């Protein structure tokens, strides 16, 4: 990966993490605020939700290296977490290689 693409990837990844965490926190807040469920059930659901969210976050974002960047970018794009403006700054080659549709994602 060229240096210019690497720099853009780092920005994409940072924004994607923010977007992912914002979504996870919003989802958690919805569980916490659901007064229709009893407290224990909300706690159990929140615990499960956070466990699943943490596993998914690890799959998407753990490891920060050029060797993992393309796969991570495919995953980030497949989850709809990539900033389109930043994606447009990537080289055509990287955009094509990381298009989830090209990989059946």
Residue 37 belongs to a domain = yes
Question: pLDDT tens for residues 36-88?
Answer: 999 999 999 999 999 999 999 999 999 889 999 999 999 999 999 999 999 99
Kindly report, residue by residue over 5-50, the tens digit of the pLDDT.
999 999 999 999 999 999 999 999 999 999 999 999 999 999 999 9
Q: Does residue 90 belong to any structural domain of this protein?
A: yes
Residue 16 belongs to some domain of the structure:
yes
Asked whether the beta carbons of 70 and 96 are under 8 A apart, the reply is: no
For tokens 């920005």, what's the residue? Answer: 11
Nearest-CA neighbor of 76 among 56, 93, 104, 91?
56
With respect to residue 14, please indicate whether it lies within any of the assigned structural domains. yes
Distance CA 53, CA 76 (A): 14
Kindly state whether residue 56 falls inside one of the protein's structural domains. yes
């Amino acid at each position: 990966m060229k240096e210019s693409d690497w720099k853009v990837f780092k920005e994409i990844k940072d924004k994607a993490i923010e977007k992912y965490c914002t979504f996870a926190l919003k989802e958690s807040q919805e569980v916490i605020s659901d007064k229709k469920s009893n407290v224990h059930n909300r706690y159990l659901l929140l615990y499960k939700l956070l466990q699943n969210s943490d596993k998914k976050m690890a799959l998407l974002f753990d490891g920060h290296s050029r060797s993992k960047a393309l796969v991570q970018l495919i995953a980030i794009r497949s989850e709809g977490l990539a900033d389109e403006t930043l994606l447009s700054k990537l080289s055509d080659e990287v955009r094509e290689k990381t298009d989830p549709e090209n990989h059946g994602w």
